[in-house]
């Protein structure tokens, strides 16, 4: 599975942004999708995940209420809508994919849980 993230940019605090991640080379609807981010000097951290059908989502506590993950299986694309951006949201955002199995996607919060990764898109929030 190949992933291509896009949609990052420079945004003022309080603004909004929608990130996209286009998938190819696999059966998109058979994969749960995740978003992670890595701020300068910090480790990559889990942000959100969505089940293969789109019927379920999971979020890091730090982003609940401001981040919304969604997917369009007809377009092989997963999205991350971010509102009320804060300077601490500045990071490279990565999308990731993992084929469904018998475990719950809601437990897949570590970078080692996902075998497929996009190249990342930079979000910079100015104060």
> One digit per residue, pLDDT tens: the chain, 127 residues?
999 999 999 999 999 999 999 999 989 999 999 999 999 999 999 999 999 999 999 999 999 999 999 999 999 999 999 999 999 999 999 999 999 988 888 889 999 999 999 999 999 999 9
The closest of 80, 99, 81 to 28, measured between CA atoms, is 99
Q: 70 with 11: CB under 8 angstroms?
A: no
Query: In this structure, what are the phi and psi dihedrals at residue 90, rounded to the nearest 5 degrees?
Result: -60, 120
């Amino acid at each position: 599975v190949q992933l291509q993230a896009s949609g990052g940019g420079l945004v003022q605090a309080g603004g909004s942004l929608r990130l996209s991640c286009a998938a190819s080379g696999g059966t998109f609807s058979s994969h749960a999708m995740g978003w992670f981010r890595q701020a300068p000097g910090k480790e990559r951290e889990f942000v959100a995940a969505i089940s293969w059908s789109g019927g379920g989502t999971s979020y890091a506590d730090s982003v609940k209420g401001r981040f919304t993950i969604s997917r369009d299986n007809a377009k092989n694309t997963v999205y991350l809508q971010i509102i009320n951006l804060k300077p601490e949201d500045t990071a490279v955002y990565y999308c990731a994919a993992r084929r469904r199995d018998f475990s719950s996607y809601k437990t897949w919060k570590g970078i080692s849980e996902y075998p497929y990764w996009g190249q990342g898109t930079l979000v910079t929030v100015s104060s």
